[in-house]
Every structure is written in structure tokens, then in C-alpha cells.
Structure 1
């Protein structure tokens, strides 16, 4: 029974990350209700963003804003990143209110964000990023549009863009991971009955359905809106599956957030430097910072190299640091 004090179910004992939503208060109707509530909240969130952006565009178009084109680009960047970042309270609301569990179980098996582990993952992400930059310089001539540089607007515009990117990208990246590798994986992982002995129940309890769902959903959505971008889509599948598996392997979202943040910071900064701020909101940068105008095999090569090296580094770090991949045993 749910108490009057807004109490929530304890984190299941000795469970992997993808099973943390299967609490003592779990009922069969909770996953579909969670999806419905998330969809409704997402709809009203995007309506609000569109209204605010429309009002700003009207004010900018009336001449009230100096250099309105550049201001509009930076505002569009800020609104776009903020809209995604607002998925953080949405996912936490769904976990805490709809699923009636500790919201911190979205972050890790410890029921919270493991900040030291996150910092180590961010530091480790610099290694595959450097490798990717070197490979891009070596193979970049084969990538369409790789060298295209436009008017970046000068120092003031770059400074404003850098401020917005550094301020909002960590929240945007965390929000995407909390949704795709957090809420989605745990929704799927909650379906298998802990007492079921059938092959179907055993498959649902295993991490693979959750990993597949959390790793491919965004790529499927991207493919639906960009049907011709084959290499980007496959690259997003590689990135998503790698981060989903790493989330299960390390018992939390920290590793996925670390690579996502570093990739997005670098790629969005490159967009600002090359005068492509206006393209970000239209899908020029997706997932882990892939540029849509480099939809070639080079994109896949870079993604495989970065994700593969990152997996090796982080799993090695986790093994040496003893990072827990399962929740604490239940108290008697």
C-alpha cells in the first residue's frame, strides 16, 4: 500500500540497472501508464517551447533585437538545448510519481549520481575523442562538406554561443541519456516477472531486450525523419547500443553521460566556429555529435573507433575501481 507520506518503494536488492523499476509496488499497468504520462508531458513541453520561440521571433523580427539574425541563431540554440534539458524533470517525475520509486534509481544502482565516477568517465572520454579527431583529419577529405566554413559572426557571437553550449550541453546530454538509456531501458527491464520460469520471462529479465530498446530507439526515430541518412543511422545504432550496454555493465548512466557530454561539447563548438549555428536546431548535429553532412562510411568508422575504445577504457576503469553493477542486497 502507498502511504500518506508520499513514500516510495525501495530499490530492489541485488538487481542490475535495467531491473530497478521492478519494485515491490510494480503493477502490470505501470509501464503503459508511464509511457502515456511521458508522452503527454512531452507534448505540452514542446508546445510551450514553440510558443516561447514564436514570441521571441516576433520580437526579433520587429527590430527590437540588435543583429536579430545572429541573436535568433543563438536563441534557437539555447531554446533547443533547453527543451531537451527539460526532459530531466519529466523523466524524474515519471519515475517518482508514476512508477512510485526513488527518482535516483534512474541514475544508478546506488540510487544517486556517482559524481566521482562521472568525472572519471568525462576525463576518459577525452582519449577516444582525440583519436576521433585524428582519424577525421586523416580521413576527412572523403567526408562531404567536412571542410565547409561559413561566417561565424565574429568574437561576440562565438563567445555567446560558447556560453550557451558550455552551460546547457551537460544538461541536454544528461537528459537524452536519462530518457533513452534510463527510462526506456528500465521500462523494458521491468516487464519480466521475477518468479516466472518460462523462456519468455527469462528473456525479458535478461539485459538484452532493454539494451536493444535503449540503444536503437533514437536511431529509429532519426531514420524516420532522415530516411536517406544510412551511415548516420547505423552510427547512431552503434553509439546507442554501446552506451546502453555500458549503462548495464557499469550499473548507471555516468559512463554514457560522460561520452555524450564531451562529444556534444566539441561538435557543437565546431558548428559555432564554422558558422553553422542555424543548422543545429534542424538536425545538423544528432546523438553523440554526428554531423549530418558527413553521412559517409567515415562517420561509421569514427563512431566505431570512438565507442570501441571508450568501452575498453571505461570497463577497465570500472573493474579497477570496483564500480558496482548491481544494487545493494535487500535488508532482512
Structure 2
């Protein structure tokens, strides 16, 4: 039985191929982003880009990492991209939906706790108006789940599995991907660093425990949709450049406690539903059978 974090141990994978993947992925990403930037420089194309378009492009710039990660895993590690999704080689949509419903509940709990603890600073909230909020919300609903999934596939999927393919201790792989995930959000406050490390570490453990990315994607997508949705509803929300790395202690503490609670609930639910956390080893081929008259034996598909 092969656990999720060891799925990159393919017959053709070698340490240098995985290392090559760590070089090719950021290069491919930079090429794609640079190509998009060049398009915006074309006269008449980028001149009309407003705050909403810039907001969408910013989210889309993260989302494009998803196909790049899938392609790099295929090319450098010789495996089906679906092995990044789960031990079944695909996303388990029903399981992810259940995790999403649970994530909605825990996110509402986070908002309630933050209302009790109090805000961590910032300007007074002012509604931006429906003319601004409605189209921005459509962008959030369309792009943010893909952006969240891209981060999960990159960190909890490809990086976690790539490190675990050659490092026996799974906690090292969990720690490495959590650190990369945290640094990708920028250097902010100490509390923001703790918040992101807890999220990345717990999400990495969930991927191994549940045998896939569904629980992490669900929690990440719900959290980001709510966070971006609230942000774009406020005046100036489309141009805010703060990330979770800039969190104060209130948000960091509430987020960390609630997400750990989410992980415990997912663990219990996965155990109760017997969610697959390992992939069965390939069945060895049957030995060839000797027949007295092979020319008379019809071919059979195998």
C-alpha cells in the first residue's frame, strides 16, 4: 500500500529529475506571466485595464501555476497528474463537497470569533456599492477557487510528494512545503508567519491522512472566497495588497485554532466514511502459461 506522500516514487523518477522539476516550474511560470505582461503592453490592450481587471489578473497569475505543476509532475517524474489529486488518481468530488460544507461552518465560526475578539486594526469599513461589488464578487467566485487549488497542488501536492519521495520522514516533507507556502505569501508580521505555517502544516497532514488534496482545497477555497469577498465589498478593496502574512494576533490565533478544529473534524469524518488514504500496490502480472498448441489459442485483451 502506498500512502499519498510517496506517490512520486515512480520507477522512472530520480532525484535529479525532481530537482530539474524545481527548476523548470518557476521558469515556466515566469515565462507565462511575462507573456501575459507583454500582451498588456500592446497599445489599446493594457491602456484600459482598471482596478477590477488588475485584481482578476493578480488572482489569475497564481491560478496559472496549476497546469504548470501538473505538467512538470508528468514530464519530470513520469507519473499521471492525477496522482497529485489523491491516491485514486483523481479528485473525489463528493468527499471534497462534504469538506467544503464543513469548511463553510468553520469559516462562519471564525468570523463570529473575530467579532468577539475584535478587529486587528485597519480603517473603518465602508461598503463600495453594488456597482463595484457585484462584478468583483463574480471574479472572486470564478477565479479564487482555482487560485486556492493551484496553491494546494503546488505545496501540498507536488512539493510534499517530491520531498517525501526521497526523504523517509513525512514531517520533513510537511515542514518544507509549509515553509514554501508561507514564504510565497511574502514577509509580513510574526503572527502572519505563524498563521500561514500552521495552515500549511495542518493542510499537509490532512493530505496524507485523507489520501488527497480535497480537504485542503475545500478549506483554502472557502477561506479565500470569504476573505476576498469581504475585501472587495469595501471601498478600495480591489487595490488592497495585504495578504495573510500581514495578519495580527487576533486573526492568527482564531485562524489557527479553528483550522486545527477543522482538521480534527475532517479526520473523524474520513475515518467514519473510510476514505482511502493509501493506494494498493500494482498486482504483479500472471506467469505465462504454456499451451500445447499456441497457434490455436485466440488472443485475449489484457
Normalising by structure 2, we get a TM-score of: 0.88
How big is the shift at 1:52? 3.6
Q: Structure 1 regions of 5+ residues with no counterpart?
A: 1-13, 66-70, 192-203
Greater alpha carbon shift after TM alignment, 45-54 vs 161-170:
45-54
Corresponding residue of 1:30? 17
Q: Any residues of structure 2 matched to 1:89-238 within 5 Å, and which?
A: 89-141=67-119, 143-145=120-122, 148-150=124-126, 152=128, 154-191=129-166, 204-222=167-185, 225-226=186-187, 228-238=188-198
Q: In the aligned structure 1, how far is the partner of 2:213 from the partner of 2:58? A: 22
Deviation string 1:186-228 (CA, Å, 9 cap, x unpaired) is 110111xxxxxxxxxxxx2231111111222121344xx43x5
1:301 paired with 2:253, answer yes
Q: In the aligned structure 1, how far is the partner of 2:245 from the partner of 2:170? A: 30
| 2:69–2:158 contact (8 Å) kept in structure 1 | yes
Counting matched residue pairs gives 284
Corresponding residue of 1:323? 275
How big is the shift at 1:315? 0.5
Q: Any residues of structure 2 matched to 1:238-249 within 5 Å, and which?
A: 238-249=198-209
How big is the shift at 1:296? 2.0
| CA 1:270–1:52: 2 relative to 1, 3 Å | farther
Corresponding residue of 1:81? 59
| CA 1:55–1:120: 2 relative to 1, 3 Å | farther
| 2:99–2:219 contact (8 Å) kept in structure 1 | yes
- 3-state SS in 2 of match to 1:205: coil
| CA 1:321–1:128: 2 relative to 1, 3 Å | same
| 2:87–2:277 contact (8 Å) kept in structure 1 | yes
Q: In the aligned structure 2, how far is the partner of 1:190 from the partner of 1:88? A: 21
| CA 1:118–1:268: 2 relative to 1, 3 Å | same
- RMSD over equivalenced CA pairs, Å: 1.9
How big is the shift at 1:54? 4.4
| CA 1:278–1:158: 2 relative to 1, 3 Å | closer
Q: Any residues of structure 2 matched to 1:240-279 within 5 Å, and which?
A: 240-279=200-239
How big is the shift at 1:308? 1.3
Match of 1:49 among 36, 39, 43: 36
Higher-Rg member (1/2): 2
- 3-state SS in 2 of match to 1:128: helix
